[in-house]
Amino acid sequence: MNTHSSITPINENTNQPQQRQTAKEMIAANVKCLIEQLEAGKSDALTAYLNAMSRFHNYSFGNVLEIARQRPTATRVAGMYAWNQLGRRVKKGEKGIRILAPIVGIKRKQDEEAEKDITKQNTRVLVGFRNAYVFDVEQTDGAELPAMREISGDVGANRDRLVSYIEKQGIELVFTENIAPALGVSYGGRIAILPGQSKAEEFSTLVHELGHELLHKAERRTTTTKVVKETEAEAIAFVVGKAVGLQTGSASADYIQLYHGNASLLIESLEVIQQASAVILAALQPPTQEQAEMPDAELARVA
């Protein structure tokens, strides 16, 4: 078996030797730092991590934690090369945000099937990780960037996309007064919503209850309480709401309930919040022009 890396580790920010660190070690170090802040009464630190999830949902869980710890105010990050391609330059003296980038290698198969078909000879495999550096837009100068889409209190088409996603998951959605005074209830395969809410409130409630549905399906290593599950669902609503521009408040005092002296539970909670939020935010992405022009039957087959 011949394995080689297709990526050469490069430190874009400093000539100092790189310090190797696994993704697991990086997550553990960040959570330790977060716990220290929580125990010091700084519950807004957890809100900063959730804010980072809303801005960087395409990043891995570990890298979201890294960005939030090193630069909590970051809104849009990219590597030096990417900024250069956008007509911007990193300001002199700015310190990069260290993240972990995957090192991908090629594994060559030696079986008979691979000998017959050249397309089956090589497969891409994860070899490890390397240090990489990204910079926030505030650390750069240059050409103006296209304005990022902001909704600011208006859910727009996101409500319809969310309902469509819920239905595609085989989850029944009903609107009924019978659940009052609750705004929403998740039954595991069925979501009930109290009618009469504002569009923003209804959207947040839908995300909260969908969060419960996704959490119900997740395999948990640690036994959780009803309070923790409610807090996780509300955190998912917070992350998604912030990402689409809703005014969600900080609620940092509530999120501290995710931590009761149990580091393993905190890590697990943050992981499921990040994963569920990323799934929902991906579902809210508008279809590409090619998908929009595709017949429904063909689109369903692709999806």
Domain membership of residue 186 (yes or no) is: yes
Domain holding 167: CATH number?
1.10.10
| Host domain of residue 274 | 158-290
Helix/strand/coil for 236: helix
Gyration radius of the chain's alpha carbons: 22
- Tens of pLDDT along 174-210? 999 888 778 889 999 999 999 988 888 899 999 999 9
Note whether residue 301 is domain-resident: no
Partners of 169 in beta bridges: none
Question: Are both 174 and 284 inside the same structural domain?
Answer: yes
Which of these three, 107, 142, 177, is where a domain ends?
142
Cβ 63 vs Cβ 102: under 8 Å: no
User: For 169-225, where are the alpha helices, taking DSSP H only?
Assistant: 199-217
Burial (0-12, 13-18, 19+ Cβ within 10 Å), 28 = middle
0.75 exceeded by pTM:
no
Question: How many structural domains are present in the chain?
Answer: 2
pLDDT band at 10 (very low <50, low <70, confident <90, very high): very low
What digits encode the pLDDT tens for the residues 95-112? 999 998 888 776 666 666
Nearest to 47 by CA among 242, 220, 262: 242
Per-residue pLDDT, 290: 52
Q: Which residue has the higher pLDDT, 166 or 30?
A: 166
